[in-house]
Amino acid sequence: MTFQTDGIVVKNERIKPLYFLLTIYCPSMANEIKTGQFIMLKVSDGHFPLLRRPFSVYKSYPADHPEKKKRGCLLILYKKVGKGTQKMTEFKKGQKVNMIGPLGNGFSLPPLPSSTDIILIGGGVGIVSLFSLAEVLESHKLFVFIGGKTKDDILCEEDFKKLNVSKILIATEDGSMGNKGTVIDLFLSQKKRFKKSKSLYIYSCGPVEMLKELARAVKFKGVVCQASLEARMGCGFGACWGCVVKTNDPKTPYQRVCKEGPVFNLKDIVWE
Ligand SMILES: Cc1cc2nc3c(=O)[nH]c(=O)nc-3n(C[C@H](O)[C@H](O)[C@H](O)COP(=O)(O)OP(=O)(O)OC[C@H]3O[C@@H](n4cnc5c(N)ncnc54)[C@H](O)[C@@H]3O)c2cc1C
Ligand code: FES
């Protein structure tokens, strides 16, 4: 159930030139939020910026988490891109922050045979929403593709290394780390390997251009691809229709990223 609550900032540290890791103590949200869902965070006590900003939860530590010291905490990994995220960089330890969540429908986890190869593809800060999913899917054969413009946009690699993933593949557009090119180019260069699998499950999150490219790339048999979409949001809970995306469902051709999404089956999206 969605609710509004306050959390307390525990830490807010810069981890790369434009990226910050925010730790908030908020046990009620940490207990409830599921992989792929998001929160709407109030970034300012004043009127500017007025609208809350949507964020995935990178890690959450519910009350029964084995790491006792971290219980009740939520971690948000964010990129400073504009006025709202600039305000967030000013959050101080001990400060109250208000949030609404858990919001949206997260990734679905169908019972998959252990022979299914699972691929995670994250572009830029999109990889954040795939990390908690990787934790849940750890018993499968996991391939993780991480992409970014430069090496400074490659996130979460060290955390993925701590999980039992089969392979981590990295691409940067300027070639400063991993393969030169987009993460989809890299995925395509490996496609033969996966075509041999009887079934393939892909989870992805990233900028629209990346997901468009991916939609074109995965039109082969036996592939299911769930994608978490990024959209500018007004309310975050289905009231303003400011975040719609076109789908090929004739009954509901426009669906709200915040309410019916943010996770969709990639083949259901009509890219314009
Ligand atoms: C479900 C969801 C989960 C998200 N999770 C994360 C996350 O974990 N970490 C993270 O850093 N960001 C995440 N985002 C994106 C984040 O919400 C935006 O970067 C943030 O709202 C920008 O606020 P701002 O005021 O700093 O930027 P603004 O001043 O509003 O805009 C600055 C620039 O960023 C672009 N922008 C703003 N919002 C978005 C958006 N939602 N999608 C794409 N471009 C945008 C604008 O077009 C503009 O060019 C998520 C977005 C969604 C919808
Ligand atoms: S942001 Fe208001 S309906 Fe989606």
The per-residue DSSP string of 165-214 comes to: -SEEEEEETTSSSSEES-HHHHHHHTHHHHHTSS-EEEEEE--HHHHHHH
Spans of the chain below 70 pLDDT: 195-196, 198, 220
- Burial level of 62, CB count in 10 A (0-12/13-18/19+)? middle
Q: Ligand 2 centroid vs 268 CA: distance in angstroms? A: 19
Q: Ligand 2 centroid vs 144 CA: distance in angstroms? A: 30
Q: Ligand 1 centroid vs 155 CA: distance in angstroms? A: 16
CB atoms within 10 A of CB 117: 19
pLDDT of residue 267: 93
Cβ of 209 less than 6 Å from ligand 1? no
pLDDT of residue 141: 86
Six-digit token pair at 25? 């103590």
pLDDT of residue 113: 79
Cβ of 258 less than 6 Å from ligand 2? yes
pLDDT of residue 84: 97
Which ligand has its closest atom nearest to the C-alpha of 227? 1
Q: Ligand 1 centroid vs 84 CA: distance in angstroms? A: 9
Looking from the CA of residue 88, the nearest atom of ligand 1 is: 26
Distance between CA 23 and CA 76 in Å, rounded? 7
User: Pairing mode, if any, of strands 59-60 and 3-16?
Assistant: unpaired
3-state per-residue secondary structure call for 87-138: HHCCCCCCCEEEEEEEECECCCCCCCCCCCEEEEEEEHHHHHHHHHHHHHCC
Cβ of 156 less than 6 Å from ligand 2? no
Distance between CA 19 and CA 76 in Å, rounded? 10
Six-digit token pair at 9? 């900032």
What's the Cα-to-Cα distance from 171 to each of 42, 219, 225, rounded to whole Å?
A: 33, 22, 20
Q: Ligand 2 centroid vs 186 CA: distance in angstroms? A: 33
pLDDT of residue 117: 84
Looking from the CA of residue 232, the nearest atom of ligand 2 is: 1
> What are the φ/ψ torsions at residue 183 (nearest 5 degrees)?
-70, -25
Cβ of 56 less than 6 Å from ligand 1? yes
pLDDT of residue 61: 97
